Structure 1
Amino acid sequence: MSTETITISRLGAQGDGVADSAGGPVYVPFALPGETVAVARVKNHGTLMSITAPSRDRQAPACRHFGPDGLNGTCGGCTLQHYADAPYRAFKRQLVIDALRSKGLTPEVDDIIPAAPGERRRVVFAARRTEKDMLIGFNQAESHHIVDIEECPIASAAILARLPAIKAVAQALATSAEPFRLTVIETAAGLDLAADGIKSLTDAQRRRTVETVLGTKGIARVALNGEILVEHQKPIIDFGGIQVSPPPGAFTQATKQAEDAMAALVTEHVGNAKRIADLFAGAGTFSLRLARTGRVHAVEAEEKALQALDHAARMTQGLKPVTVERRDLFRRPLMAQELKAFDAVVFDPPRAGAEFQCKELARSSVKKIVAVSCNPLTLARDLAILVEAGYSIGKVTPIDQFLWTSHVEVVVALQK
């Protein structure tokens, strides 16, 4: 390890400051472009020790767990609280531009739709029981150490108000000192808690968990490894006015605001299409909204999510027909011949993207496509496949729903 003074030239894709040196780039978490900083350096990683010349874009962090001086945050949940709003948003938009350019794509990219504090309705906590207490929080960056949080400016007020209850449920579930994950989703009926990483519970622990939930206000359901332990009330999430009861631990967009923005862009481009395929449909984030104007075929690999979508569609009046198909689109994409049945296709895959599905879309005659992505790099790869096949890129909109991180969502409209 050596200590040296370097100047930060830019931010890397993960939000670290990057300095150029004779030995290659040096990555410095919590440093900003233009700053001269002293770092303890190990190979290409620098730990920020002090700032000789701070950036005008540096701001005081919003949360005590980020670090009192904004130099070395302890909580690994956020990485960019120290960056002022305007350059922070420009940085995230530029991530999308750079990813597209890496594949030779140069469409106009809209300004990012911003996120605000207090919007996160879905939070994944790290949890671990100690001899004295129950830790609930986030792992410190590059560490298994859990920072026990007392505040969280990104989380919704409903989640923050129930932190003691969440901790009590975690305490009832914990069978050892081994860490586990606890996904918390704010729903209309109360909080939906899903624990993963605990092997099994004794009958006594199950009873204790049920008693804890029944004696606590605001907890709708608790599940372990997908199994419902107690459902005081059925959790309900609103997808554009349509009520859905998702399965335990189901994927939902992290904020309602971002979900609504994405859904508005999707429905705008699909327009008056009468036959729509929604691929990687989840529990119906887009399918159910699209069914107000067209027939929808929803394809998803997760059976329980698909069942929730199907049930919501059947229970909602005024929708066009919704059909569902359980299918692993990574292994078995909809083929070009099958895609002939649709005027428009929406796809919203996991971070790995939808390469094989896009190759089939490229061979199809579908007129409109909407790509939704949480990974600009795999999105750029998928879009390049479609553009080469004759699709043109229209509106490209970045959306921020993971505030103060380097993660960015994108919605892209394409036309044959």
Structure 2
Amino acid sequence: MSTIVRVAARGDGVAEDGRHAPFAAPGDTLTEAGEIIPGPHHQPPPCRHFPQCGGCQLQHLDDESYAAFVADRIATALAAQSIDAPLRPTALSPPRTRRRATLHAERGLVGFTAEGSHAIVDMRECHVLHPALFALVAPLRALLQRLRPKGRAELHLTLADQGVDLLIRGRLPDGLAAAEALTGFAQAHALARIAVDDGYGPETRWEPQPVAVTFAGTPVPLPPAAFLQATAEGEAALVAAVREAAEGAATIADLFAGLGTFALALPGRVYAGEGARDALLALKAAAALARRPVVTEHRDLFRRPLTTAELDRFDAIVLDPPRAGAREQVAQLAASKVARLAYVSCNPSSFARDTATLCEGGWRLDWVQPVGQFRWSTHVELAAALSR
């Protein structure tokens, strides 16, 4: 017999004797035969599709142990770089709040793919999707059975201010009947927009009014399938952490700014650098219309990071890179004179690597805010404050 003491990065329970056990929670008992005796933190998974569906890996954890898992992922990554920092309590998004998702559809099946497989788990219930998104699953199944796309289709669902924005990536049939079916579907389900990408970029088929998302009171045009924080609660936690880390700064650079989630929430003058042209143009238009002091630049921050001379013009920096981190930009930050940094990350490993570089350059990691907005998944996010 051995007690499960933690959950590893990929979701397996780890026992005191070093053995790994799938679907085990801290406090469970692992027998010599490999059976799991549930403990106080092992809850019955709420969804019938667990564990086949790849959308969730940790539905067997209660909130306390899931919050601990999120924090432990970050602490373990930092410890591997010999870094210690205060971790704040994990901000967990509630069930049924995820406002964007990519589902797959083929041969009458619609849903997430199975864990470690391309097989589609036909979704009949979901405890992570926002009800407005889940309500479209059954109607979409019927629509695609009628249209019969060639091969597999991807369904990108995003909850915008005007309702659900749907992008279908796949080869739909041509002709008036197919076009009318799409328009009729959009009207019947009050979609904000429906667009189709058959390999040549999104083509809007229905958009009765411009689709937007609002950040800090400023509506921003939403390009089809553009990046958006997964939940409103997760976004709020990250924005609050960034605002705190940059508090008092008169001039701020928001790097990898996207649509302006942070740039529009920050006081003072903001420079926003972003490599995705559609997102940057949307932010530029929104800031101009709202008369916000945001200056935008279309810039590939991997190939052309801000130099130390450019960074030194700002009182604070906000950094929100993709999963690979920001190795090139961090090297410039380490050598700069700027004194405050808010780092937002969706990958504890690349965050820890970049933080080690910064610490070698004289920075200090003040605190980390763990965020679990991909409920019951192994995907972890965070916001951190660094200074010197």
TM norm structure 1: 0.86
Q: Tell me how far 1:117 sits from its aligned partner.
A: 0.7
- Find out whether 1:155 has 2:129 as its counterpart: yes
Structure 1 partner of 2:220: 244
Structure 2 partner of 1:45: none
For residues 297-336 of structure 1, the aligned pairs below 5 Å read 297-317=271-291, 319=292, 321-336=293-308
Identity %: 40
State the alpha-carbon separation in 1 of the partners of residues 32 and 115 from structure 2.
20
Structure 1 partner of 2:113: 139
Bigger drift between 158-167 and 348-357 goes to 158-167
Q: Tell me how far 1:171 sits from its aligned partner.
A: 4.6
Structure 2 partner of 1:277: 253
Bigger drift between 236-245 and 370-379 goes to 236-245
Structure 2 partner of 1:98: 76
TM-aligned CA distance change 1:163 to 1:95, over 3 Å: same
Amino acid at match of 1:412: A
Listed one character per residue, the Cα deviations across residues 9-44 of structure 1 (whole Å, up to 9, x for unaligned) are 6422011234698xxx765432334432688xxxxx
- Contact 1:62–1:153 (8 Å) recurs in 2: yes
Q: How many pairs align?
A: 383
- Contact 1:119–1:255 (8 Å) recurs in 2: yes
Structure 2 partner of 1:30: 23
Structure 2 partner of 1:44: none
TM-aligned CA distance change 1:60 to 1:343, over 3 Å: same
- Contact 2:183–2:206 (8 Å) recurs in 1: no
Structure 2 partner of 1:43: none
- Contact 2:183–2:205 (8 Å) recurs in 1: no
TM-aligned CA distance change 1:326 to 1:19, over 3 Å: same
Equivalent residue in structure 2 for 1:123, among 101, 104, 114? 101
Equivalent residue in structure 2 for 1:180, among 138, 142, 153? 153
Unaligned stretches of 5+ in structure 2?
Answer: none
Structure 1 partner of 2:341: 369
Bigger drift between 211-220 and 275-284 goes to 211-220
- Contact 1:191–1:221 (8 Å) recurs in 2: yes
TM norm structure 2: 0.92
Structure 2 partner of 1:337: 309
Q: Tell me how far 1:54 sits from its aligned partner.
A: 2.5
State the alpha-carbon separation in 2 of the partners of residues 173 and 307 from structure 1.
34
- Contact 2:6–2:69 (8 Å) recurs in 1: no
Amino acid at match of 1:17: G
Structure 1 partner of 2:182: 210
State the alpha-carbon separation in 1 of the partners of residues 183 and 36 from structure 2.
55
State the alpha-carbon separation in 1 of the partners of residues 315 and 121 from structure 2.
49
Structure 1 partner of 2:49: 65
Q: Tell me how far 1:174 sits from its aligned partner.
A: 4.7
Q: Tell me how far 1:64 sits from its aligned partner.
A: 1.6
Unaligned stretches of 5+ in structure 1?
Answer: 40-49, 67-72
- Find out whether 1:77 has 2:71 as its counterpart: no
Structure 1 partner of 2:209: 233
State the alpha-carbon separation in 2 of the partners of residues 330 and 86 from structure 1.
38
- Contact 1:165–1:216 (8 Å) recurs in 2: no
SS at match of 1:202: coil
Listed one character per residue, the Cα deviations across residues 110-160 of structure 1 (whole Å, up to 9, x for unaligned) are 1111221121111211111x2xxx321111111222111121111112222
Listed one character per residue, the Cα deviations across residues 188-246 of structure 1 (whole Å, up to 9, x for unaligned) are 211001223x2565244751453333442221112233332322332221212111121
State the alpha-carbon separation in 2 of the partners of residues 220 and 74 from structure 1.
32
- Contact 1:191–1:235 (8 Å) recurs in 2: no
TM-aligned CA distance change 1:349 to 1:206, over 3 Å: farther
Structure 2 partner of 1:111: 89
Listed one character per residue, the Cα deviations across residues 302-327 of structure 1 (whole Å, up to 9, x for unaligned) are 1010011011101114x2x2111111
TM-aligned CA distance change 1:216 to 1:116, over 3 Å: same
TM-aligned CA distance change 1:201 to 1:315, over 3 Å: farther
Amino acid at match of 1:414: L
TM-aligned CA distance change 1:173 to 1:255, over 3 Å: farther
- Contact 1:194–1:223 (8 Å) recurs in 2: yes
- Contact 1:162–1:218 (8 Å) recurs in 2: no
